[in-house]
Amino acid sequence: MINKESEIWTEKYRPETFEEIIGQDEIVKRVKNLTDSLNIPHLLFAGPAGTGKSSLALITVKQLFGEKWHENYLELNASDERGIDVIRQKVKDFARTKAIHSVPFKVIFLDEADALTREAQQALRRTMENYTNTCRFILSCNYSSKIIDPIQSRCAIFRFKLLEKKDMDKIIKRIGEGEKLNILEDAYESLYEASEGDCRRVINLIQATASISVNITKELVNTIVSNAKPKDIKVVLEYALSGDFIAAKDKLLDIMLKESISGQDVIKAIQKEIWNLQIEPEIKVRLTEKTGEIEFRLVEGSDEFIQLESLLASFVLAGQGKI
List interacting residues with other proteins (CB under 8 A).
Answer: 6-11, 49, 54, 58, 75, 77, 79-80, 83, 85, 111-112, 115, 119, 200-201, 204-205, 207-209, 211-212, 224, 227-229, 243, 245-246, 249, 253, 257-258, 260-261, 294, 297, 300-303, 305-307, 309-310, 312-314, 316-317, 320, 322
Q: How far is the CB of 37 from other proteins (least distance, A)?
A: 25
Nearest CA to 57 out of 5, 111, 96, 7 is that of 111
Q: Which is nearer to other proteins, 153 or 227 (CB)?
A: 227
Q: How far is the CB of 247 from other proteins (least distance, A)?
A: 10
Nearer to other proteins, 104 or 178 (CB): 178
Q: How far is the CB of 115 from other proteins (least distance, A)?
A: 8
Smallest gap from residue 62 Cβ to other proteins (A):
13
Q: Which of 148, 209, 155, 142 is nearest to 182 (CA)?
A: 209
Q: Which of residues 180 and 322 has its CB atom nearest to other proteins in the complex?
A: 322
Distance CA(135)–CA(247), nearest Å, equals 55
Query: Minimal distance in Å, beta carbon 259 to other proteins?
Result: 8
In this structure, are strands 73-77 and 106-111 parallel, antiparallel, or unpaired?
parallel
Q: Between helices 185-195 and 199-210, what is the axis angle to 10°? A: 130
Q: Which is nearer to other proteins, 33 or 79 (CB)?
A: 79
Residues counted in the chain: 323
> Nearer to other proteins by C-beta: 156 or 247?
247
Q: How many CB atoms lie within 10 A of CB 268?
A: 15
User: What 3-state DSSP class applies to 140?
Assistant: strand
Q: Cβ closer to other proteins: 36 or 119?
A: 119
Q: How near is the Cβ of 322 to other proteins at its closest, in Å? A: 6
The helix (run of H) or strand (run of E) holding residue 175 is: helix 165-178
Q: Which helix (H) or strand (E) holds 270?
A: helix 263-273
Using the minimum distance from each CB to other proteins, give the nearer residue, 33 or 223.
Answer: 223
The minimum distance between CB 93 and other proteins, in angstroms, equals: 12
CB environment 153-182: b (16+ within 10 A), e (fewer): ebbeebebebbeeebbbebbebbbeebebe
Nearer to other proteins, 39 or 97 (CB): 97
Distances (CA, A) of 195 to 25, 28, 213, 216, 287: 20, 22, 20, 15, 30
CA distance 160 to 157: 10
Dmax (CA) of the chain? 73
Q: Is 222 exposed, middle or buried (0-12, 13-18, 19+ CB in 10 A)?
A: middle
What's the closest the beta carbon of residue 129 comes to other proteins, in angstroms? 15
Q: How far is the CB of 104 from other proteins (least distance, A)?
A: 25
Considering the complex, state which of residue 153 and residue 246 has its C-beta at the smaller distance from other proteins: 246
